[in-house]
Amino acid sequence: MPRLIHLNGPSGVGKSTIAARYATEHPKTLNLDADEIVRLVGGWREDFFGTVDLVRPLAITMAKHHLSTGHDVVMPQLVTDRGQRACFAEAAAAVGADYLEFVLLAPPETTIDRFQRREHSIDHVVEALGGPVLLRRIHDHLDAYLTPESTIIATDGSDADQTYKTLMAALRR
Contact 136, 36 (CB under 8 A): no
In tens digits, the chain (173 residues) has pLDDT values of 999 999 999 988 999 999 999 999 999 999 999 989 999 999 998 998 899 999 999 999 999 999 999 999 999 999 999 999 999 999 999 999 999 999 999 999 998 888 888 777 677 778 888 888 989 999 999 999 999 889 999 998 779 999 999 999 999 98
Give the structural domain span for 146.
3-166
C-alpha–C-alpha distance, residues 171 and 5, integer Å = 9
C-alpha–C-alpha distance, residues 156 and 4, integer Å = 25
Single-letter amino acid, residue 1: M
Q: Is residue 171 part of a domain?
A: no
Q: What does the CA dihedral 86, 92, 97, 99 come to, rounded to 10 degrees?
A: -40
CATH of the domain at 125: 3.40.50.300
Number of structural domains in the chain: 1
Which residues share a beta bridge with 98?
3
Q: Is residue 172 part of a domain?
A: no
